[in-house]
Amino acid sequence: KSLNENELMEKMQQNKTVTYEQIQATLRTQSTATTQQYTQSDILLRIPLEAQITRSTALQILKPLLPKGNGILANGIHELDDGPLLALLLAHERALGSDSRFYPYIATLPLHPSCGWNPEWRQSVVDVVTAMAVEMGTDVQGWPAEIAKAADMAE
């Protein structure tokens, strides 16, 4: 069943389960409801803070799972940069499957995401970034150089 925006927000605010199918149906309805071109500054979706995967959320969920004592992880989790910390949380939550509170989001992620580090996909990633700049007006200045640096470090 497709939900309108208000129903979707209400269910999320009440911490009721929103299924992957409902999210997909809602997105299909929204994407076919207009032929309007969106700009980079348009707000297309509002996600309540409590439903977002943030550094704070990652620390709150992961810290109790770490061994007690003087281990590097137990003492150093606060020292991790956001990327690795959020990757740990995502891996943990993905392992929980449908028991994860983030399952509706995780279920939308590709099983084999593209990565600028993968030599086979590198040019495709750069092409997508370039298309984002040309077709959508997205500010991607420096992205191809960052992808190249990441690729050099991966080799």
pLDDT the model gives residue 116 = 56
pLDDT at 120 over 80: no
Distances (CA, A) of 84 to 79, 111, 151: 10, 19, 17
Task: Give the model confidence (pLDDT) of 54-94 as tens digits.
Answer: 999 999 999 888 877 666 555 678 888 888 889 899 999 99
3-state class (DSSP) for residue 53: coil
- Average pLDDT along the chain: 76
Distances (CA, A) of 37 to 44, 46, 128, 132, 139: 11, 18, 19, 14, 17
Does the pTM exceed 0.75?
no
Measured between alpha carbons, how far is 21 from 85 in angstroms, rounded to an integer?
29
